[in-house]
Amino acid sequence: MEQTRIGVFVCHCGSNIGGVVDVPAVVEYARALPNVVYAERNLYSCSEAGLSSLKQGIRAQRLNRVIVAACTPRTHEPLFKNACEEAGLNRYLFEFVNIREHCSWIHRKDKEQATEKAKRLIRMGVAKASLLEPQEETESNVIPAVLVIGGGIAGMTAALNLARQGFRAHLVEKQARLGGWLPHINRLCPTDEEAARLIDSVIREAQAHERIILHMPATVQEVSGYIGNFHVTVAEKEGKCTFDVGTIIVATGAEVLQPLGLYGYGRFPNVITQLELEERLRPPPSPSPVNDGGGKRWESTVFINCVGARIPERPYCSRVCCMTSLKNAIRLKKQNPAAQVYVLHRDLMTYGVEFERYYRRAMEAGVRFLRYDIERPPQVVGNGRAEAVVVWDTLRGQERRLPVDAVVLNAPLIPASDNATLSRLLKVPLAESGFFLEAHVKLRPVEFATDGVYVCGTARWPADVSESIAQAYAASAKAAIPMRAGAVTAEAITAFSVPERCMGCGTCVVTCPYQAIELRIANGGHVLSGTEGLQKQVAWVNVVQCKGCGSCVAACPSKAMQQRGFTDQQVLEMISVISGL
Amino acid sequence: MMNQSVLVIGAGIAGIQVSIDLAQMGFPVYLVERTPSIGGRMAQLDKTFPTNDCAICILAPKMIECAGHKNVHLLTYSEVVGVEGHAGDLRARVLQKPRYVNMERCTGCGECAAKCPWRVPDDFNVGLSNRRAIYIPFPQAVPRKATIDAPHCVYLQDRAKNRCRMCEKVCQPGAIDWEQQERIVELSVGAIVVATGFDPYDAGVLKEYGLGKIANVITGLQYERLVSASGPTSGELRRPSDGKPPREVAFIQCVGSRDVNYNPYCSSVCCMFATKEAILANEHDPQCRSYIFYTDLRAVGKRFQEYIARARTEYNVTYIRGRPGVIGENPQNGNPIVRYEETTAQQLRAMEVGLVVLCQALLPRRGQQDVAKLLGVELDEYGFVNAPARLRRPVDTSVPGIFACGYCSSPQDIPDSVAQASGVAARVAEMLAGE
Amino acid sequence: MSEQDFHPRIVAFCCNWCSYAGADLAGVSRLQMPTDFQVIRVMCSARVAPEWIIKTLSAGIDGVMVLGCHIGDCHYIAGNHRAAKRFALLKEMLGFVGIHPDRLRVDWVSASEGTKFQTIVTEFVERVRELGPTREFVTAHRRLDTD
């Protein structure tokens, strides 16, 4: 075993440290610590001169452990670790001691005690460094192929983008045709372009691209593996198909609530949903306004927003429905300018520039708006068919009775019914609402906590076409990162299990937030005597998925789990040397 | 083969995100930021809705990751002054303004700022406090280097007089460099990303609300700085007139927004950030009640409706539908008096409160027009970057090879900006793949 | 020894993402504090094993702090939840074996709460000074092993 040779480099940081801490005394002190063979001070360790001195010191003194006592590791640790590597030392044999933010800057009034504290901190650092082991960062390859689940606008956009970047894209669609909901929609707001034109062109591109492999109709049956190496089984008409991918994008969309029992839906034939209205409005264009089957022109239509949404049972706002109401209200007015068209709402969600402009257009087109309250929802009344809508107009403070030819119900997007299945297959979570739950609501909107799996479009949350496409691009970017790199590396602060001590209790498995641990049959090795021939299950950590939190280590009842760079021994040794006993 | 480098203009959260994504994909990125530090508006926020995450806590690691990535070349205190070429082969000229501080030598210790005698209103604290002529914009600034604000530096304004130079005297590493010149950096890139963010509208224009006259009428961004631990009051909510904590706070929505007299559009994020600020007011003082005066309560994102519900039931927040007509002042105690119509009750009322927060419209950044002219991209009538095919290609501008994300493109919150930014990265990657 | 002369030995486990950063901010802001504590960095408060606390206090350390992210903000999703539960239980146990539970303080400090870090540390050092040196459970010349 080679002798431990620690080098300690103490930084003055100008007078930031040196003006409070007696750096020369600290260097003297460090020199005398166990295993320390070299100590020096630098004016600015992070400067060119400081780094160069560090590297020289490593080489000249044959150091095999390095400590820099300076500012905070949160800024400069990579800098010094790189310097160590350049000097031929494994970067995990480096320890950073913070004697600026955590010492000189907060103890300015007591220089003597600050100096003593700096000595203690360095003593702790030396104790830990003595126990550091060289580590190799594990590199795991990434297959340059993606699985996109869902062939709607989001899924196809993602598949096309990645295909164009040069990756293979397996596009799995459970229905017999691509396009998701858009083939059922008439026009899109706020541009009023035809949905068919947009979606048909995307479908053509997706079908034509040589790197997109279409599985349709097909469903994902099984997924195993982890980022870079997912093994996927898909059930298609002809049987099962398996293939391997590096990344997965969930673009399975959402469903629309059927508002059975609400506002006369199901009871009155002229109470329809927005989707049913879309079908009626779609080309071939009808020269006369919507035909309700009874042959009458709709002289009066009432749209009711927030049907089954923003209620205690389903508190969320479905984001896209207000605009849909406006779009179809404008269309009805266009077809029949004399018609009365009302939109009954509880807040009009026309956020941003284009949507607010669209709202003004609707007002200019003569669409009338009426604000109702959740406490007094509209009543649809009639005999055999809806004849009128009675509603308390909160802004006028009076009840209104609106005669109707048709009532259109604006119901929310709801999570797709197979979300739960997919969630289990991919080991990704669902939010309370039932939509998929991303890694971080603010800063990681299209990623899952599980590496290599991403989400976009209405599978994640109600979104309009432009938002779904932007998110699909975002998910593609995230998937492209590991695929372009060809490999993923894990910082070597991962957990590992010592099989001899492991009882196979599985506590670590359930503790891990990233599902990075599984139980496997111990591979030979020395198990407890008397049990030769007995196969036991022990914990195995997938270092690619492990994020180095250390939760499992603290949870392990048999002390079989440890964390590289933060072992129990290292920490307890640090405490030992300052415990004063 | 197209040039594989990318120029990103603006280093707020959107600019930072697209830079990180592109860098991780292997593209060299030039990130140009007009101010001395990256971080943008998010660095000025205390917490972010609907999780009430500490804004700088989640932003700072991204800032460090971005600046530290080997593929990202940061050009702070710089502006784009010229662009020519076409998609795949663009040439940009970037003016790097002189900080008069040697970036290699400066360790960001802050001694210079502590000793500089000259005070300047602090933009970062929205004028609520002063900084010095030499300064580090905020504690977590990246790069953490000092900058001398030349127009306010007494020495630089008249070198012949040779006054002050205190910073130079106290700088240990000798990082003050009076001879530093502005320099032009010529860049060759394949694509450009505009991510220039927003400025708050000057709510003083709405004289009826008394901003600038009534001491206890402040703006939303000023409120953020008051409740921020790194702000002028170390995070204590104290009203400007007498430093007392307000017992009631009124938030006025749509100030200068959704108004044909000012900005007809909706700024998208104010209903939510007012709710957040009201929640924070109650967290600071459980006796504090808040009133949010709104027109339509826009809470369309994930868990936003639940956030509003909690504000109502747990944090003493009351929502009143009505846009106040005028704000007066009680001369005896400095309390603002809000006069409004409660439209759902058809009643005219007046409410005396401790503090009024104006949630004013948010506009594309000053300077957006200049950038747009240089790049040749179309803006809409409000100055937002136009996406000609907004539905099909939401992040493409009117110029091939130039993309836009974040608030400069359309009013949106942080998650949407971040998603759009990553979206731009994918579009750039697709374009530069040349298919 | 008088309270003034007693310099307690205190260890503060801080998680990399929140409390360590909060401690850094306290430093950047030059917030002054007593010198009687040393920070040990861990990646997550969930790494702090309850037996560390027992061994630490039984080795002559007078006080231990475990500082993590605020509930809901854990970088590793819910590590701080685990820490909260573990240490709530541990505090009960400490009292049971005769160690004053106030020698363990578990708290949440975000990366922007430099002032809170200063307040907590100052308060804790004071409290440990009041309690005096740890006498309970101390075994002379005991080296800390993992067994």
Asked whether residue B411 is assigned to any structural domain, the reply reads yes
Where are the domains positioned within chain C?
A: 10-146
Tell me, yes or no, whether B154 lies in a domain. yes
Query: Exposed/middle/buried for B160, CB within 10 Å: 0-12, 13-18, 19+?
Result: exposed
- Say yes or no: B228 and B347 in one domain: yes
Residues A453, A230: Cα–Cα separation, whole Å? 10
pLDDT of A430 reads 86
Same domain, yes or no: B337 and B256: yes
Chain B: partners with 3+ C-beta pairs within 8 Å? A, C
Q: Give percent above pLDDT 90 in chain B.
A: 88
Q: Give the pLDDT score at A283.
A: 66
pLDDT of C61-100, one tens digit each? 999 999 998 887 787 878 888 889 999 999 988 888 788 9
Instruction: Write down the pLDDT at residue A328.
Output: 95
Helices (H), chain C: 19-28, 50-58, 79-96, 114-131
**Residue-level pLDDT at B156:** 95
Q: What is the pLDDT of residues B367-383, one digit of tens each?
A: 888 999 999 999 999 99
Instruction: Tell the CATH topology of C10-146.
Output: Rossmann fold (3.40.50)
| Model confidence pTM above 0.90 | no
Q: Are residues B87 and B22 in the same domain?
A: yes
Query: How far is Cα C67 from Cα C22, in angstroms, rounded to an integer?
Result: 10
**What residues are paired with A245 via a beta bridge?**
A230
What is the 8-class DSSP label of residue A217? S
Domains annotated for chain A, with CATH where assigned, are 6-129 (3.40.50), 145-253+416-488 (3.50.50.60), 257-413 (3.50.50.60), 495-564 (3.30.70.3270)
Mutation to test the A interface, candidates C41, C74, C117, most A Cβ within 10 Å: C41
Q: CA of B108: which chain C residue's CA is closest?
A: C28
Nearest CA to A544 out of A456, A502, A504, A485 is that of: A485
Q: Which residue of C has its CA nearest to B57?
A: C111
> What mean pLDDT value characterizes chain A?
92
- Put simply, whether C99 touches A (Cβ < 8 Å) is no
Q: Which residues of C54-64 are buried (b: 16+ CB within 10 A; e: fewer)?
A: bbbbbbbbbbb
pLDDT over 70 at A356, yes or no: yes
End-to-end CA distance of chain A: 29
On whether both B186 and B250 belong to a single domain, the answer is no
Q: Which residue has the tokens 């460099």?
A: B177
Report the pLDDT value the prediction gives residue C138, as an integer from 0 to 100. 57
Residues 39-68 (C) with a CB less than 8 A from some CB of B: none
pLDDT beyond 50 at A466: yes
Please give the structure tokens belonging to residue A461: 């949350």
Q: What is the mean pLDDT of chain C?
A: 86
Flag whether residue B383 sits within 8 Å of chain A, measured between CB atoms: no
DSSP state of A67: E
Amino acid identity for residue B116 in this structure: C
d(CA B391, CA A190): 9
What's the confidence (pLDDT) of residue B435?
A: 67
| Chain C residue nearest residue B59, CA to CA | C111
Lowest mean pLDDT among A96-105, A304-313, A352-361, C93-102: C93-102
pLDDT of A241 over the 70 cut: yes
How many interchain CB pairs under 8 A, B with C?
38
List the one residue out of B215, B212, B236 whose CA is nearest residue B225. Answer: B236
φ and ψ of B166, to 5 deg: -60, -40
Range of weakest confidence among B15-19, B216-220, B250-254, C18-22: C18-22
Are A356 and A350 spatial neighbours (Cβ–Cβ below 8 Å)?
yes
How far apart are the C-alpha atoms of A148 and A211, rounded to whole Å?
Answer: 13
Contacts of B330 (CB under 8 A, 6+ apart): B336, B337, B352
Model confidence over B308-366: pLDDT tens digits?
Answer: 999 999 999 999 999 999 999 999 999 999 999 999 889 999 999 999 999 999 999 98
Is any Cβ of chain B less than 8 angstroms from the Cβ of A313?
A: no
B259/B256 Cα distance (integer angstroms): 6
Q: What is the pLDDT of residue A524?
A: 53
Cβ neighbours of B139 in C, within 8 Å:
25, 28-29
Q: What is the mean pLDDT of residues B62-85?
A: 94
Q: Give the closest-approach CA distance of A510 to chain C in angstroms.
A: 12
What is the distance between the alpha carbons of residues B52 and C84, in angstroms, rounded to a whole number? 20
**Which tokens belong to B118?**
């000259």
Question: Based on the domain organization, do B236 and B305 belong to the same domain?
Answer: yes
Which chain B residues are Cβ-neighbours of A188 within 8 angstroms? Answer: 391
Q: Has residue A64 got a pLDDT over 90?
A: yes
Q: Per the domain annotation, does B210 fall within a domain? A: yes
Cα–Cα dist A485/A518, whole Å: 27
Taking 70 as the threshold, does the pLDDT of residue A189 lie above it?
yes
Q: Inspect the interface and report whether the beta carbons of B229 and C114 lie closer than 8 Å.
A: yes
Q: What pLDDT, on the 0 to 100 scale, is given for residue A46?
A: 80
Paired with B53 in beta bridges are B48
Strand, helix or coil for residue B122: coil
Predicted pLDDT of residue C59: 83
For A69, list phi and psi in degrees, rounded to 5.
-105, 110
Q: Which of B49-53, B92-96, B266-270 has the lowest mean pLDDT?
A: B49-53
CATH code of the domain in which B229 resides: 3.50.50.60
Cis peptide before A144 (omega within 30 of 0): no
In a domain, B428, yes or no: yes
Strand order in the sheet with B347-352: B326-329, B336-342, B347-352
pLDDT at res. B19? 98
- SS3 label, residue B22: helix
DSSP state of C75: T
CB within 8 Å: B299 and A317: yes
Tens digit of each residue's pLDDT (9 = 90 or more) over A385-401: 999 999 999 999 999 99
Run of H or E including A8: strand A6-11
Residue A548, token pair as written in the block: 């180095």
Cβ-Cβ contacts under 8 Å for A269 (sequence gap 6 or more): A292, A293, A385
Contact (CB, 8 A) for B353 and B336:
yes
Which of B316, B338, B362 marks a domain boundary? B362
Residues B84 and B166 both lie in one domain: no
**A534 pLDDT band (50/70/90 cuts)?**
low
- Asked if the Cβ–Cβ distance from B300 to A349 is below 8 Å, we say yes
pLDDT of residue A2: 83
Q: Do A436 and A423 form a contact (C-beta atoms < 8 A)?
A: yes
Angle, in degrees to the nearest 10, between helices A73-86 and A48-60: 50
Is any Cβ of chain B less than 8 angstroms from the Cβ of C38?
A: no
Which residue does chain B place closest to C114, by CA atoms? B229
* Yes or no, beta carbons of A445 and B419 under 8 Å apart: yes
Neighbours of B326 (CB within 10 A): 14
The pLDDT of residue A293 is 39
Does residue A196 carry a pLDDT above 60?
A: yes
Same-domain check for residues B333 and B370? no
* Torsion angle of the four alpha carbons C93, C96, C98, C100, in this order, in degrees rounded to the nearest 10: 60
**Which residues of chain A are within 8 Å of residue C53 when distances are taken between CB atoms?**
none
Q: In the predicted model, is pLDDT for residue B52 greater than 90?
A: no
DSSP calls for B332-348: TT--EEEEEEETTTTEE
pLDDT confidence of residue C137: 57
Q: Based on the domain organization, do B284 and B229 belong to the same domain?
A: yes
Alpha helices, DSSP H, located in A71-181 = 73-86, 111-130, 153-164
Please give the residue range of the domain that contains residue B340: 202-362
Report yes or no: B42 and B59 within 8 Å, Cβ to Cβ.
Answer: yes
User: Of A68, A71, A97, whose CA–CA distance to A83 is shortest?
Assistant: A68
- A535 has pLDDT over 80: no
User: How distant is the Cα of C43 from the closest Cα of chain B, in angstroms?
Assistant: 14
Q: Which of B306, B336, B362 is the C-terminal boundary of a domain?
A: B362
Judge whether A539 and A522 are in contact, CB under 8 Å. no
Which chain C residues in 28-67 lie under 8 Å from chain A, judged by CB atoms? 28, 30-33, 35, 38-44, 46-50, 52, 55-56, 59-61
Q: How far is CA A337 from CA A192, A332, A358, A388, B117, in A?
A: 18, 8, 17, 20, 70
Count of other CB atoms within 10 angstroms of residue A166:
15
Q: Which of C14, C20, C24, C28 to mutate to test the interface with B (most CBs of B within 10 A)?
A: C28
Q: Is A166 on the interface with B (CB under 8 A)?
A: yes
Contact C49 A579 (CB under 8 A): no
Residue B177 lies in a domain: no
Residue C146's pLDDT band, with cuts at 50, 70 and 90, is very low
Q: What are phi and psi of B26, to 5 degrees?
A: 105, 5
- Examine the pLDDT at C144 and tell me if it is beyond 80: no
Report the C-alpha gap between A73 and A60 in whole angstroms.
25
Which pLDDT does position A287 carry in this prediction? Answer: 44
Residue A372 pLDDT: 97
Q: Are residues B58 and B87 in the same domain?
A: yes
Mean pLDDT within C33-50: 95
B57 touches chain C (CB under 8 A): yes
A204 touches chain B (CB under 8 A): no
Using the beta-carbon criterion (under 8 Å), do B58 and A465 form an inter-chain contact?
no
Q: Tokens at residue A358, please?
A: 């669209």
* C111 contacts chain B (CB < 8 A): yes
Binning pLDDT at 50, 70 and 90, where does residue A525 land? very low
Residues in chain C with CB shorter than 8 Å from the CB of B235 are 115
Give the whole-number percent of chain A exceeding pLDDT 90: 82
Q: Are A115 and A23 in contact (CB under 8 A)?
A: no
The full DSSP string for B252-274 is EEEESBS-TTSB-S--SSHHHHH
Q: Using one digit for the tens of pLDDT, what is the confidence trace for B194-240?
A: 999 999 999 999 999 999 999 999 999 999 999 987 889 988 999 99
Phi, psi of A203, deg, nearest 5: -60, -45
Q: Enumerate neighbours of C (3 or more CB pairs within 8 A).
A: A, B
Q: DSSP readout, A309-340?
A: SSBTTB----SSHHHHHHHHHHHHHHH-TTSE
Angle at B97 between CA B202 and CA B44, to 5 degrees: 40
In this structure, of A466-480, B22-36, B132-146, C84-98, the range with the lowest mean pLDDT score is C84-98
Question: What is residue A231's predicted lDDT score, i.e. its pLDDT?
Answer: 97
Provide the domain count of chain B. Answer: 3
Q: Number of H helices and number of E strands within chain A?
A: 14, 30
Cis peptide before A284 (omega within 30 of 0): yes
* Residue A295 clears pLDDT 80, i.e. is over it: no
- Helix or strand or coil: residue C14? strand
Do B57 and C72 lie within an 8 Å CB cutoff? Answer: no
pLDDT exceeds 90 at position B84: yes
Pairing of the two strands A65-70 and A218-226: unpaired
Average pLDDT, chain B: 95
User: Is C115 an interface residue toward A (CB < 8 Å)?
Assistant: no
Helices (H), B4-110: 13-25, 55-68
Cβ-Cβ contacts under 8 Å, A326 against chain B: none
Report the amino acid identity of residue A115: T
What is the per-residue pLDDT for A439?
A: 86
| 3-state helix/strand/coil string of A87-109 | CCCCHHHEEEEECHHHHHCCCCC
Of C24, C79, C146, the CB nearest to A101: C24
Query: Are the C-beta atoms of residues A300 and A403 closer than 8 Å to each other?
Result: yes
Each residue's pLDDT tens digit, A115-149: 999 999 999 999 999 999 999 998 999 999 999 99
